[in-house]
Chain A
Amino acid sequence: DAGVIQSPRHEVTEMGQEVTLRCKPISGHNSLFWYRQTMMRGLELLIYFNNNVPIDDSGMPEDRFSAKMPNASFSTLKIQPSEPRDSAVYFCASNRDRGETQYFGPGTRLLVL
C-alpha cells in the first residue's frame, strides 16, 4: 500500500489567498484525521471524519477553515482567506476503525507570507 498521500508537500502563498490541501487515505480505512503542527502548539487535531462524515470539528480554529470528504478516498482542507499565523505543517492520518493505530501522511508544509 502507498500509505497516506498528501499534496502538495510544500505550499507558499500570500496572505488573503485561498489554500487547498489534499489527502488520500489508505484504502480500506474509514476514518480520516486532519492535524496541524507548529512549534508553539505542537500537534493539534483539527477535524476527523468517519465513513466520510465529519464527527468532530471542535479543533477547527475558525470559519476560515473548512474540510470536506466527498468520498472514501479523498479529503480536502481549505483555508480561505489564509493568514500568516496559519503557517504550519498539516498532516492527514487515517485508520481502519475507532481506536486503531493511525497512519500519518508526510504532511504539507504551508507558509503564508
Chain B
Amino acid sequence: LAKTTQPISMDSYEGQEVNITCSHNNIATNDYITWYQQFPSQGPRFIIQGYKTKVTNEVASLFIPADRKSSTLSLPRVSLSDTAVYYCLVRSYNFNKFYFGSGTKLNVKP
C-alpha cells in the first residue's frame, strides 16, 4: 500500500476555496487516488476518486499531475458544514485493503 502524507490540519473561512494536497511518492501504476470525508461521530464518506489529470463532481475537484506523486483536493466556497477530517487514500483495484492515514482536519470559520 502506498503511504500518503497530508497536512494534519487547515483553517479556512466560509466562502473560500480550500485546497488540500496529499503526497504519495510510491504510487503504483494500478493505484487510484481516493478521498474520503469524516464528520464527527460519523463514518468516513467517499468524496471523489481519480487516476490522472482532473476529476470534478458536485462536491469537489481532484487535480493529479502527470507524475501522480501528489494530488490536490479542491473544495469550492466552503461552508461551516465542511468542517471535517479529509483522508487521502491510494488504493489498487487488485487489492481491497484501504489505508486511511491520519487525515487533514479542516476547520471552517465564520
Hey, which bits of chain A sit against chain B, CB under 8 A? 4, 31, 33, 42-43, 45, 48, 50, 55-56, 91, 93, 95, 98-99, 101-107
The secondary-structure label for the interface of chain B is loop
In the complex, A42 Cα to B103 Cα: how many Å?
Answer: 9
Is residue B102 within 8 Å, beta carbon to beta carbon, of the partner chain?
A: yes
Report A-chain residues with C-beta under 8 Å of the C-beta of B45: 104
User: How many chain B residues have a CB neighbour from A under 8 Å?
Assistant: 23
Q: Quick one: which of A45, A93, A98, A104 contacts B95, CB cutoff 8 A?
A: A98
CB-CB under 8 A for A48 and B96, given A42-B102, A99-B91, A101-B49: yes
B41 proximity list for chain A (CB < 8 A): 106-107
Q: For the complex, what is the distance from the CA of A72 to the CA of B25, rounded to whole Å?
A: 37
Measured CB to CB, the residues of B under 8 A from A are: 32, 34, 41-46, 49, 87, 91-103
Residue of B nearest to A31 (CB): B96
- Interface contact B94-A48, CB-CB below 8 Å: no
A91–B100 Cα gap in the complex (Å)? Answer: 13
